[in-house]
Structure 1
Amino acid sequence: MQRLQESPKKEEYPKGTFGYDRQFLMQQYKNTIVLENSIEKSSILVSPELQGRVMTSSLNGNEGMSFGWINHDLIASGELSEQFNAFGGEERFWLGPEGGQFSLYFPENVSFDFKNWKVPTLIDSEPFEVVANNKSTAVFNKKAAITNYSGTTFNLDITRTISLISKDDIKNNLGLIDVDFSAVAFKSKNKIVNQGNNAWTEDSGVPSIWILCMLNPAPAVTVVAPIKEGGKEELGAKVNDNYFGKVDQDRLKATDKTVFFKADGKSRGKIGFSPKRATKFIGSYDANNKVLTILEIDEPRVKDKYVNSAWEIQENPFSGDVINSYNDGPLENGEQLGPFYELESSSPALFLKSKESYTHTQTIYHFSGTDKQINALALKILGVSVNEIEAAL
Structure 2
Amino acid sequence: MESIANFYGFRSVLRLIVLCAFLCSLGCKTKNEQSANAVGVEKEAYAKGSFGYDREFLSKHYKDLVVLENGESSILISPELQGRVMTSTASGDEGKSFGWINHDLIASGEKKEHFNPTGGEERFWLGPEGGQYSLYFEKDAKFELDNWYVPKELDTEAFNLVRSREDKAFFEREMKLVNYTGTTFDLRVQRNITLLDKEDAAEILGLNIPETLKMVGFASENNLTNIGPEDWDKKTGLMSIWILSMFNSSDQTTIIVPFKKGDEDILGKKVTDDYFGKIPSERLQVQDSVLFFKADGKERGKIGISPQRALPVIGSFDAKNRVLTIAMFSLPEGATDYVNSLWELQEFPLSGDAVNAYNDGGGLGPFYELESSSPAMDLKSNESSSHIHQTFHFVGDEGELDKLAKGILGVSIRELSNE
TM-score (normalizing by structure 1): 0.93
Quick one: which of 11, 16, 22 aligns to 2:49? 16
Equivalent residue for 2:370, pick from 340, 343, 351 = 343
Amino acid at match of 2:408: I
Kept in 1: contact 2:201–2:209 (CA 8 A): no
RMSD: 1.4
Supply the distance in 2 between the matched residues of 1:30 and 1:19 (Cα, whole angstroms).
17
Note if 1:54 corresponds to 2:85. Answer: yes
Richer in helix (by share)? 2
Which amino acid in the other structure matches residue 61 of structure 2? Q
Which of 292, 299, 307 is 1:260 aligned to?
A: 292
Task: Give the structure 2 partner of residue 32 of structure 1.
Answer: 65
Once the 2 structures are TM-superposed, how far is the Cα of residue 179 of structure 1 from its aligned partner?
3.6
**1:20-99 maps to which residues of 2 (within 5 A)?**
20-38=53-71, 41-99=72-130
Residue matched to 1:383? 410
The structure having more radius of gyration, on CA atoms, is 2
Structure 1 residues 244-298: Cα deviation after superposition (integer angstroms, max 9, x where no partner): 2211221111101101111111111110111111101000000100000001013
The count of corresponding residues between Structure 1 and Structure 2 is 376
Displacement, 1:389?
A: 3.4
The residue type paired with residue 365 of structure 1 is F
- Structure 1 pair 388–301 and aligned structure 2 pair: CA distance change class (3 A): farther
Aligned residues of 1:50 and 1:126 also touching (Cα < 8 A): yes
Would you say 1:292 and 2:324 are equivalent positions? yes
Q: CA deviation at 1:222?
A: 0.4
Q: Would you say 1:247 and 2:279 are equivalent positions?
A: yes
SS at match of 1:60: coil
- Which residue of 376, 381, 394 corresponds with 1:354? 381
Give TM-score, length-normalised by structure 2.
0.88
Rounded Cα–Cα distance in structure 2 between residues aligned with 1:213 and 1:349? 20
Aligned 8 A contact 1:157 1:194 in 2: yes
Residues 156-207 of structure 1: CA distance to partner in whole angstroms, max 9, x if unpaired?
1000001100111111221222644210000000001001111111110011
Q: Distance in 1 between matches of 2:325 and 2:293?
A: 14
* Residue of structure 2 in register with 1:7 after alignment: none
Say which of 342, 355, 358 aligns to 1:326: 358
Aligned mates of 1:265, 1:369 — CA distance in 2: 23
- Quick one: distance in 1 between partners of 2:69 and 2:404? 23
Distance 1:168 1:112, change over 3 A: same
Q: Give the aligned residue type for 1:378.
A: A
**Whole-angstrom distance in 1 between the partners of 2:95 and 2:364:** 26
Q: Is 2:266 the counterpart of 1:234?
A: yes
Among candidates 396, 404, 415, match of residue 369 of structure 1: 396
**Unmatched 5+ residue regions in structure 1?**
1-9, 331-335
1:356 aligned partner, one-letter code: E
Name the CA distance, whole Å, in 1 between partners of 2:348 and 2:170: 36
- Residue 186 of structure 1: SS of its match in structure 2? strand
* Equivalent residue number for residue 168 of structure 1: 199
1:133 aligned residue: 164
Q: Conserved in 2, the CA contact under 8 Å of 1:224 and 1:389?
A: no
CA distance in 2, matches of 1:48, 1:361: 19
Superposed displacement of residue 354, structure 1:
0.4
* Aligned counterparts of 2:278 and 2:153: Cα–Cα separation in 1: 31
2:256 counterpart SS class: strand
Partner secondary structure for residue 183 of structure 1: strand
In the TM superposition, residue 35 of structure 1 has moved relative to its aligned partner by 0.4
For 1:122, the aligned partner's letter is: E
Aligned-partner Cα distance in 1 for 2:133–2:416: 37
DSSP 3-state at the match of 1:250: coil
Q: Look up the SS of the partner of 1:345 in the other structure.
A: strand
Instruction: Measure, in 1, the Cα distance between the counterparts of 2:185 and 2:234.
Output: 13
CA contact (8 A) 2:330 2:374 kept: no
User: CA offsets per residue over residues 319-356 of structure 1, 9 Å max, x none?
Assistant: 011110011116xxxxx243311000000001000000
5 Å matches for 1:103-122? 103-122=134-153
